[in-house]
Amino acid sequence: MKGAKESAAVCEEQQYLFYVLAELRCARIRALMLMKEIEVIGVALKGNMITPEVAMEWLSDANALDFLLPAAPIKRDAAEAVNQP
């Protein structure tokens, strides 16, 4: 029975490997989608289609504020609007 237990452990480990690989593929796709959304926000802001405040709110909604430099200047009311639930 030792061989069956080892075989089951190998099978379980292989299933976990496939799961982690699938999660990595999904994470990569989510990262690409976020990158494209950040690009769209930049284009809209550069084209004066949105204000900087709206851009910051949009970035907040996309959970992308962490990618800005910590010292990025934010208008006080925009920062408060972003932190509101």
Tell me the mean pLDDT in the region 18-46.
Answer: 97
In three-state form (DSSP H/G/I as H, E/B as E, the rest C), the secondary structure along the chain is: CHHHHHHHHHHHHHHHHHHHHHHHHHHHHHHHHHHHHHHHHHHHHHCCCCCHHHHHHHHHHCCCHHHCCCCCCCCHHHHHHHHCC
| 23 vs 74, higher pLDDT | 23
Q: Is the pLDDT of residue 10 over 60?
A: yes
pTM for this structure?
Answer: 0.67
The range of the structural domain enclosing residue 27 comes to 2-83
pLDDT at 73: 65
pLDDT, one tens digit per residue, over 34-57 is: 999 999 999 999 999 999 999 999
* Number of structural domains in the chain: 1
